Amino acid sequence: MRRLRVAFVDDHPILLEGMISLFNRSGRFEVVASGDKADAARQIAESHQPELMIMDLSMPGDVFGCIAEIVQRHSDIKIIVFTAFASVDSALRALDAGASGFVLKGSVASELFGAVEAVMNGDLYITHDYASQVLAGLRNKAKRDRQAQAMRLSVREKQIVGHLLQARTNREIAETLSLSEKTVKHYMTTLMSKLHARNRVEVVLAAQKAGQLD
């Protein structure tokens, strides 16, 4: 039976040795590399092309950035975060960066092996103690992302808001942008809907607050 190529990155030597020994004993895995910092994870991904990387969060370097980079450059590599950082925020950041699993170090070995099986089958795995909270956080983030996308202004809409900042009337805006006044009114209706604004002043304030005038 073909063994799964796996690599470990953790800056706790005893734990690192223990995980390598545990996976080697199972007979189902080939441990191809190990490291102790974020940069090592990048090098392992490039040089050894493991199918799975199991990484800690509390080690030198930008681990979240490292996860994102590896997933972007090597879409066939799955990443499981195995960490003592017992926080929903850490789990959300890791999954948002591209990790497919989040397991706490207090978990039993069977949970870690279960996470590996789930992730390699294309599923998302979250340690049992945090699953409901993290999933709720992911749903909230998805909702916020959809709202932000819906609020994003087009180039023309930004131009019109810019003219509103100068207190110009619809007719003046229409003349400046070579549009009909009816078209400007249509844009105003769209802007008020997108930004949940009731008038021209609120449109400007909402656009500024949403960072749409940069």
Residue-wise pLDDT tens digits, 163-182:
888 888 888 888 888 888 88
Task: Indicate the Cα dihedral angle 60, 40, 68, 135, nearest 10°.
Answer: -70
Share of the chain above pLDDT 70, in %: 86
150 pLDDT higher than 60: no
Checking 106-113 for CB contacts under 8 A at 24+ apart, the result is 109/22, 112/54, 112/80, 112/82, 113/26
Amino acid at 187: Y
pLDDT band at 141 (very low <50, low <70, confident <90, very high): low
- Residue range 156-160: mean pLDDT, rounded: 86
pLDDT band at 93 (very low <50, low <70, confident <90, very high): confident
187 pLDDT higher than 90: no
Q: What is the pTM of this model?
A: 0.65
Look at residue 141 and give its three-state secondary structure. helix
Share of the chain above pLDDT 90, in %: 38
Checking 62-65 for CB contacts under 8 A at 24+ apart, the result is 62/38, 63/38, 64/93, 64/94, 64/97, 65/38, 65/97
134 pLDDT higher than 80: no
**Two tokens at 109?**
């070995």
Q: Is pLDDT larger for residue 107 or for residue 19?
A: 19
Tell me the β-bridge partners of 125.
101
- Residue range 131-136: mean pLDDT, rounded: 64
HSE on the CB side for 183, CA within 13 Å?
12
Which residue, among 52, 34, 64, 56, has the nearest Cα to 122 in the 3D structure? Answer: 52
Q: What is residue 4's predicted lDDT score, i.e. its pLDDT?
A: 94
